[in-house]
Structure 1
Amino acid sequence: MHRRAYLAAVGTAASTGLAGCSSALNVLGDDPCTGENCHIGMSRTEFLPEVYEVTVGDTVIWKNTSEADHTVTAYESRIPDGADYFATGDFDDQASAYDAWHDDRGGRLAPRETFEYTFEVPGTYEYYCIPHERAEMVGEIVVTE
């Protein structure tokens, strides 16, 4: 009888310990990009993290970590004066990126693909995913000196 009580106590302790590890893994799983392969990941309708801070001259790498197609498309009116426009598909402006997506999915970032951009002007850059804008898939890059 004491053996069963001992095994039950050990099993409960092990489960509790593993539950802690499991929740830690879930927290880490919320941010699919850490390290050099990418800085910002994507869920079905979110950029992860939504706000990312870098310094002038840093390159940011987005990776489509979901199973849906996405875009990274700057809001032309919400980037600093003097900054170059950026979007997957290398479009010159927001209207071109929007039209290309709606014509034939131009600028598409397929699952596991990456997009990178180097930020040369300090300020706040707001961007979105064209097919998921209505779901509020938006992000922000804050560039400091």
Structure 2
Amino acid sequence: MSAPVHDPRRRLLLGAGGGLLLAAVLPRPAGAGDALEIGMSGTSTGSEVWFRPRGLLVRPGQAVRWLNRDAGNVHTSTAYHPANGKPLRMPEGAKPWNSDYLLPGQSFTVVFDIPGVYDYFCLPHEHAGMVGRIVVAGADAARPYAATDARLPSAAAAGFPDVAAILKQGRVD
């Protein structure tokens, strides 16, 4: 049995330690530090480029961070949205994004709040099929945006992973 703590400094230290313990075990909202990562890369010759994973399932409020791992190329993460000069391929009311050009080692983060399917592309490499899809939990498995496929480069339209596969597996490389 320990004696009561009368020294105010010791009380403060004990209280702070308890607070740190609670902070470590209680659930907290996802933020940029909890972001799921999507790598941006390609072959050393630049003949092939990709996002990995191409398909990713996230929960509402979760962050996704794109990281350019390609030592010899710039990439972007750009939402399919009229604000970016493209057809709408994301939920109505969701905020579009455009990372701008990311140099090797640079990253860009977006938090996804609205359930649904979000399609995105790399601005300089869309024609090469560098596209990806994020599914925010709550979306259904129907094939979205098929009506706009004809407005995309053929390699891009063919590059999106199936929503049902993303929902089942959590990620599609």
TM-score w.r.t. length of structure 1: 0.61
Q: 1:37 to 1:53 in 2, by over 3 A?
A: closer
> Which sections of structure 1, spanning at least 5 residues, go unmatched?
1-34, 89-106
Given candidates 119, 131, 136, the residue that maps to 2:112 is: 119
Could you tell me how far apart the structure 1 residues matched to 2:136 and 2:123 are?
23
Taking the TM superposition and a 5 Å limit, the aligned residue runs for 1:34-53 are: 39-44=37-42, 45-53=49-57
Shift of 1:37: 7.4
Aligned to 1:81: 92
> Which sections of structure 2, spanning at least 5 residues, go unmatched?
1-32, 43-48, 82-87, 139-173
Could you tell me how far apart the structure 2 residues matched to 1:37 and 1:83 are?
19
8 Å contact from structure 2 (residues 37, 65) kept in 1 = yes
Say if 2:135 is the partner of 1:135. Answer: no
Aligned to 1:108: 101
Decide which structure has greater helix share: 1
Given candidates 63, 68, 71, the residue that maps to 1:59 is: 63
8 Å contact from structure 1 (residues 62, 116) kept in 2 = yes
Shift of 1:53: 0.8
Could you tell me how far apart the structure 1 residues matched to 2:106 and 2:41 are?
13
Shift of 1:43: 1.4
Moved over 3 A (4+): 35-38
8 Å contact from structure 1 (residues 38, 63) kept in 2 = no
Shift of 1:52: 0.8
Could you tell me how far apart the structure 2 residues matched to 1:139 and 1:49 are?
8
Aligned to 2:147: none
Q: Which has the higher contact order (CA 8 A, sep 6+)?
A: 1
TM-score w.r.t. length of structure 2: 0.51
> % of aligned pairs identical?
43
Q: 1:114 to 1:38 in 2, by over 3 A?
A: farther
